[in-house]
């Protein structure tokens, strides 16, 4: 077995934790969970999203997303509705209240990104993002091919 320091899942988790350590205090101060923030971020980029596609885009399982959407809907931060042509589809959009919350939080989020980019270096940050996307794409292709 490879040494622990060469464990890809562990290294990725450690990187995630190092990044989220910068963001968690601001999320907690706003009363927003990490998962809720991912929902808001995704919904701010589109007028409306289908719940299944949203779950996939933000790496959440549907049961977890369903609970989060119910909570956010109850707070008036998102809207949920059934599709018009296919009533089984659940469509989700952010409300003006939800968008206002994101706009209030966005400057601090961007400030944290700037600190991270400065610490890592702009070129290294851009390369890291490109390398991560390339690895994700290749691993998704490998996973779709099935076990060897």
Task: Residue 108: give the domain boundaries.
Answer: 23-136
Give the pLDDT of residue 42.
Answer: 98
Tell whether 63 is covered by a domain: yes
Question: What confidence score (pLDDT) does residue 147 get?
Answer: 77
**pLDDT by residue (tens digit) across 30-82?**
999 999 999 999 999 998 999 999 999 999 999 999 999 999 999 999 999 99
Kindly tell me if the per-residue pLDDT of 89 is higher than 80: yes
pLDDT in the model for residue 84: 84
Q: How confident is the model at residue 86 (pLDDT cuts 50, 70, 90)?
A: confident
Residue 84 within a domain: yes
Please give the pLDDT value at position 85: 82
Residue 87: pLDDT band with limits 50, 70, 90: confident
What's the total number of domains in the chain?
A: 1
Residue 31 included in any domain: yes
Residue 131's CATH number: 1.10.10.10
> What single string gives the DSSP state of each residue in the chain?
---GGG-HHHHHHHHHHHHHHHHHHHHHHHT--HHHHHHHHHHTTSS-EEHHHHHHHTT--HHHHHHHHHHHHHTTSEEEEE-SS-TT-EEEEE-HHHHHHHHHHHHHHHHHHHHHHHHH-HHHHHHHHHHHHHHHHHHHHHHHH---
1 found inside a domain: no
Is 148's pLDDT higher than 80? no
| Domain-embedded: residue 61 | yes
**What is the pLDDT confidence band of residue 145, given thresholds at 50, 70 and 90?**
confident
Indicate whether 11 belongs to any domain: no
Q: Mean pLDDT, the chain, as a whole number?
A: 96
Confidence of residue 88 (pLDDT cuts 50, 70, 90): confident
Residue 58 lies in a domain: yes
Residue 145 lies in a domain: no
Q: For residue 54, what pLDDT is reported?
A: 98
């Amino acid at each position: 077995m490879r040494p622990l320091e060469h464990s890809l899942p562990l290294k990725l988790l450690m990187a995630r934790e190092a990044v989220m350590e910068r963001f968690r205090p601001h999320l907690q101060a706003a009363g927003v969970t990490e998962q809720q923030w991912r929902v808001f971020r995704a919904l701010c980029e589109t007028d409306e999203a289908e719940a299944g596609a949203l779950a996939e885009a933000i790496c959440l399982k549907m049961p977890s997303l369903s609970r989060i959407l119910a909570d956010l809907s109850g707070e008036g931060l998102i809207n949920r509705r059934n599709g018009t042509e296919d009533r089984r589809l659940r469509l989700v959009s952010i409300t003006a209240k939800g968008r206002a919350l994101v706009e209030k939080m966005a400057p601090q989020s961007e400030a944290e990104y700037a600190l991270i980019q400065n610490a890592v270096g702009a070129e290294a940050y851009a390369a890291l993002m490109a390398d991560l996307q390339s690895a994700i794409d290749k691993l998704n292709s490998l996973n779709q091919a099935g076990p060897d």
